[in-house]
Structures are given as structure tokens and as C-alpha cells.
Amino acid sequence: MNFAKAQFLRSYSRVEQITDNKNPEFAFIGRSNVGKSSLINALTSKKDMAKTSAKPGKTQLVNFFDVENTLNLVDLPGYGYAKVSKQKREVFEELITEYLLKSDNLFIVFTLIDAAIPPQRIDLEFMAWCGEHRVPVGVIFTKTDKKKPKVVEANMTAFEDELNRLFEHLPVIFETSANTKRGIETLSEWIEEQVNTIIHKG
């Protein structure tokens, strides 16, 4: 499977609009400015597949990308510190909730976690929400190149310790850097394996 062949499909402002997709969906979410767009761009080997911005809150819709008509990468609005109005933030949150609870084809939502900083309450609250609502969730640590290895390792370990309190079994976890491409191949191989399993089951 060639992720470099990924193409933008379309954007949705409401979950009810997503009626024409039957492929498994691998969604990405995280705090604003966690490096979500950069990760998607690294995964697809494209500079502008997902729009990056120094200004948090760039993604305001559910954006679908098609990979060889076999799977969809889904870029969800960020949560947390986006400098948008309260009204807009509530719309984003409603859109995210609707998608995660109602999508028929969601295989997993990857929560992106900034490895350069200690565990954040908002990330843990989101992970707990997914667990409570039986939303399939995984973790992708980003920015593993931004601090000294010992600091990054301590932050990731601390976050995993918190997850152990929330989950009986730890979700799947990846360690990545969009800059150095660390972990990108491992992530793409894992996604491909899951899709192949789905196809063979079908």
C-alpha cells in the first residue's frame, strides 16, 4: 500500500453528510498544535496534504483522505487551546463527538500526544471518554525529537502510567517525529496490516 498516493477526498461539517464512504477510517485527533497535520503529511510523504499552521485551530471540519480506494485517513478538528470563539469550539466538539460515536467505518482514532511536555489533563480526559464510550483508540506520541531523549522518555512513561490507570489493556502506542520520520514507517505498516486483516475477513 502506497500512502504517497493519498488524495484529499472531501470535508464534512456534519456526520450525516458522510454517506458515500465504505472504507475503514483511521482518524487523527489531538490538542491544537500537537503536530497532527505534520504527522499526516509525513505519513503521506506530502508537504501540504493536511494544512499546517502556526495558528492553532486550522482544522475546522472532518477532512477525509483516500488511500488507493482502500482506506481513509480522517483529520479531525483539534481540541483544547484553539483560539476560536466559544460558540465555534462547541460546534467542533459536537462534530467530533458525533463522528466518533456514529461513524460506521471508524476503525481507530489515534490521539496525538506531545512527547515534549508532561501529561496533560485534557488528553487523559479524552482518552478516558473514548474508553467509557467504547471508541477504539490508540496513541501516537509526536515531537519526540524536540527535547532531550531522557526528557521525552520520562514524559511518555508518565503518560503510559496514567493510561494504565484508565485501561485494563494499554491501547496501541506509536512514537513518532514528523521531522526525523521516526516511527512513520512503523505506523504505516501497522495500518496496512489492519486493513489487510479487514479485507481477508470480508
Q: Rounded mean pLDDT of the chain?
A: 89
| 180 alpha carbon, distance to own chain's centre | 19
Which CATH superfamily hosts domain 3-201? P-loop containing nucleotide triphosphate hydrolases (3.40.50.300)
**Which helix (H) or strand (E) covers residue 41, if one does?**
helix 36-43
pLDDT digits (tens, 9 = 90+) for 1-43: 899 999 999 999 888 888 777 899 999 999 988 999 999 999 9
Q: Which whole number is the average pLDDT over 73-81?
A: 83
Q: What is the pLDDT of residue 20?
A: 73
What 119-125 contacts at long range (C-beta under 8 Å, 24+ apart), as own/partner pairs, is 119/155, 119/158, 119/159, 119/162, 120/31, 122/31, 122/79, 122/80, 123/30, 123/31, 123/159, 124/159, 124/162, 124/163, 124/166
The pTM (predicted TM-score) of the whole model is: 0.91
